[in-house]
Copies of this chain bind each other. A is one copy, B any other.
Amino acid sequence: MAGERFRVTLWNEHIHERRDESVTRIYPDGLHEAIASGLRRELGETVSIHSATLDEPEHGLTESVLSGTDVLTWWGHAAHDRVSDEVVNRVHARVMDGMGIVVLHSGHHSKIFRKLMGTTCDLRWRSDPGGEREVIWTVNPTHPIAAGVPQPIVIPHQEMYGEFFDIPTPDELVFISSFAGGEVFRSGCCFYRGAGRVFYFGPGDQEFPVYHQPEIQRVIANGVSWCRPLAPNDLPATRVANTPREWFST
C-alpha cells in the first residue's frame, strides 16, 4: 500500500459537546476534532480523515462511506441505544471484511463493540467530578501501538475505569492502567475479528482534555495505523465454501 493514503472515519456521537457547557469548553468542535488534529500531526499525508456523527442520515455511515473507510474510530456515551441496528450490522460486516476499528473509552458499551466481543463489556467505574490520576503502562514494549510512547503515560485527571472488565481475553494486551484510587484496568487491548482488527483504548472522557494530550494522540495514531487492513489471502474462497475433493491439487 506504499504511497497510498489510507482513509479514516472518526465517528462521534457528538451530544455532550453541544449540550454540556463544561464539555463545550474543552472540545468546542467536538471530540472528533481533537482526535483528528492528533492524527494529522502524527500521520500527516499518509491519512485522509473524515468524520461522521449520530445525527447525520444513517449516522453518517452509509454503505458508500464505509466501503471507503479503512479504519473507523468510535466514540459514544449518552446514546448507544439510538444507533440503529442496521448501521451496527453494516459496520460489523465491514470489520469482517477487513476494516479496522478503534473503540474509545465509553465506546466499551456501544452496540458495535459488544457485538464484536460477544460479552457484556461491563466494567467498574467511578463518578467523581475531578477525576483522578491515571498512569498507563506498556506491558508489550515491542508492540507497534506502543512505538514512541513514554513509559508510563500520566493523565492528571481522568474518569476511573476498573476491573473486572467483561471482555474476552485480548489477543494482545498492550497497556494496563492504574488509578490513584488503586484500581487497575486493561486499557489497551487488541482483538482480531474476521479479517478486521479491533483496538480498544480506555483513556478519554468528555469532561477532561485527554484527547488534546500528545501522548494519547500518539497512541490513537498508532492504533489507527495498526488497524489498517491487510489483504486477507483466503476469505473470499472460504465464503464459496463447498469445495470438491482434490480441488487444490490440480
Contacts and interface: CB of A to CB of B under 8 A. Distances in A.
A64 interface: no
A96 B119 contact: yes
A124 B243 contact: yes
Interface stretch (A19-27, A75-83, A203-211, A226-234): A226-234
A139 interface: yes
A185 to B, nearest CB: 9
Contacts of A123: 238, 241
Contacts of A119: 96, 193-194
A171 B149 CA distance: 23
Given A142-B197, A151-B234, A178-B178, A191 B166 contact: no
Interface stretch (A30-38, A52-60, A126-134): A126-134
Contacts of A14: none
A115 interface: yes
A68 interface: no
Given A169-B173, A171-B168, A234-B141, A248 B117 contact: no
A219 to B, nearest CB: 11
A159 to B, nearest CB: 11
A138 interface: yes
A238 B178 contact: no
Interface string A158-179: 0000111110110111001111
B243 A126 contact: yes
Contacts of A178: 178-179, 182-184
A188 to B, nearest CB: 12
A180 to B, nearest CB: 8
Contacts of A165: 139
B168 A168 contact: yes
A205 to B, nearest CB: 14
A168 B193 contact: yes
A247 B148 CA distance: 19
Contact of A192 (B148, B164, B168): B168
Contact of A135 (B126, B128, B169, B182): B182
5 contacts: A98-B142, A118-B193, A154-B249, A164-B238, A182-B248
Top 5 closest pairs, chain A to chain B, by CB: A141-B232, A178-B178, A151-B234, A135-B182, A116-B118
